[in-house]
């Protein structure tokens, strides 16, 4: 049986279509993917993302230990800040991509739901190998995570009595109490819109969801499922683990070089990434814009003059842009924006063009 978040009752009341995802029963949509997508772009949406994994590093050397597991720099991460980073294998393949929070002298990794068990094993085994004394606590089944995203997110907070969070900066977090319940609030976002994330104890149930939902009445707030969550992140060119990145892709290939700090003293995968950067990557993740009617999907071949140069990793009809778009890896020599290619859609070659990312720029319909 799939696991259920404390909010599943709310989802049923709201008419959600529930599906099994990464071992969880989750809402894929409520009123429809395009409708929900548009609500986040133009008003505000509320997401249940309690299926994500949360792992805490505590004790002596917590920051130093966590820093060796990721490519980004945690040593200079100040308390109250958070940062995005891949975790890589010794061969530079991406084990997972995580959001890292520094909470005082402790570290929180927020990991992908499908990777929670794998990540926990990988992290604990690497800590054992290094002799680190840090304590790793998996609180994935004890943490509710809710995301509020959209241009009217601040107005919802005001109405919910949480105006104190409005000054919070991008990629920052703070601990607050809501009706006596401890809540970790952050401002990162996975949609390209302004927004906030909230973490609180499982036992507190849906109190914060209900408060935010009620505060959003009259502002166009809608509950948002995983379907629209995917189209929103896609338009921003954000990578989805299992599609655009995995243990066969490196951060340098995926356009995540900005997260790889090769001047760090040491981290898992550093030697391979140093060598890869020196040699140059053989393929790159690019954006693709279809010039003909069609919807590209994962696995579709990308060609030039009938020769395959890569494959689509994510593709959809982008609601904000009203066109078929895709992400995919292509040979580096054919990766420049403006390059004319084709995508094989249902056995037919459709003209396409490599384009800059993100596809969607806030406030534009380019």
DSSP line for 37-87: HHHHHHSEEEEE-TTSEEEEEESTTHHHHHHTTSSS--TTPPTTBEEEEEE
pTM of the model: 0.96
- From the first residue on, what is the mean pLDDT of each consecutive set of 10 residues in the chain (366 residues)? 97 98 98 98 98 97 97 97 98 98 98 98 94 94 98 97 97 94 95 96 93 96 98 98 98 98 97 98 98 97 97 98 97 98 96 97 60
Cα 57 from Cα 75, distance rounded (Å): 14
pLDDT digits 0-9 by tens, 156-196: 999 999 999 999 999 999 999 998 899 999 999 899 999 99
How would you write 134-166 as a 3-class SS string?
Answer: CEEEECCCCEEEEEEECCCHHHHHHHCCCHHHC
Q: What is the pLDDT of residues 209-223, one digit of tens each?
A: 999 999 999 999 999
Q: What is the pLDDT of residues 68-112, one digit of tens each?
A: 999 999 999 999 999 999 999 999 999 999 999 999 999 999 999
Q: What is the pLDDT of residue 364?
A: 53
Domains of the chain, with CATH numbers?
3-49+141-235 (3.30.1360.120), 53-138 (3.30.70.1400), 282-366 (2.40.30.110)
Specify the 3-state DSSP secondary structure of 289: strand
| C-alpha span between 154 and 137 (Å, rounded) | 32
pLDDT for the residue numbered 366: 40
């Amino acid at each position: 049986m799939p696991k259920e978040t404390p909010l599943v009752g709310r989802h049923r009341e709201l008419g959600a279509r529930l599906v099994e995802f990464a071992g969880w029963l989750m809402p894929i949509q409520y009123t429809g993917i395009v409708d929900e997508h548009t609500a986040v772009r133009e008003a505000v949406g509320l997401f249940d993302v309690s299926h994500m994994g949360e792992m805490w590093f505590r004790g002596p050397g917590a920051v130093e230990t966590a820093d060796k597991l990721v490519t980004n720099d945690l040593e200079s991460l100040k308390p109250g800040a958070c940062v995005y980073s891949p975790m890589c294998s010794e061969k530079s393949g991406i084990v997972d991509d995580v959001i890292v929070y520094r909470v005082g002298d402790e570290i929180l990794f927020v990991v992908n739901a499908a990777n929670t068990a794998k990540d926990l094993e990988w992290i604990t085994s690497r800590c054992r190998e290094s002799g680190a004394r840090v304590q790793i606590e998996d609180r994935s089944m004890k943490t509710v995570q809710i995301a509020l995203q959209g241009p009217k997110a601040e107005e919802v907070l005001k109405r919910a009595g949480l105006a104190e969070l409005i000054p919070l900066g991008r990629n920052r977090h703070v601990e607050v109490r809501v009706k006596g319940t401890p809540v970790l609030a952050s401002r990162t976002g996975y949609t390209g819109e302004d927004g906030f994330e909230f973490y609180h104890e499982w036992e507190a149930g849906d109190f914060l969801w209900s408060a935010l939902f009620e505060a959003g009445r009259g502002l166009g707030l809608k509950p948002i499922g995983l379907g629209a969550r995917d189209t929103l992140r896609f338009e921003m060119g954000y990578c989805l683990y299992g599609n655009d990145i995995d243990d066969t892709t490196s951060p340098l290939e995926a356009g995540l070089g900005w997260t790889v700090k090769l001047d760090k003293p040491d981290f898992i995968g550093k030697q391979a990434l140093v060598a890869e950067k020196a040699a140059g990557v053989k393929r790159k993740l690019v954006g693709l814009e279809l010039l003909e009617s069609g919807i590209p999907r994962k696995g579709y071949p990308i060609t030039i003059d009938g020769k395959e140069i890569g494959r689509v990793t994510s593709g959809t009809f982008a609601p904000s842009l009203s066109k078929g778009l895709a992400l995919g890896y292509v040979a580096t020599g054919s990766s420049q924006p403006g390059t004319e290619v084709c995508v094989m859609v249902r056995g037919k070659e459709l003209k396409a063009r490599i384009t800059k990312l993100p596809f969607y720029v806030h406030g534009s319909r380019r």
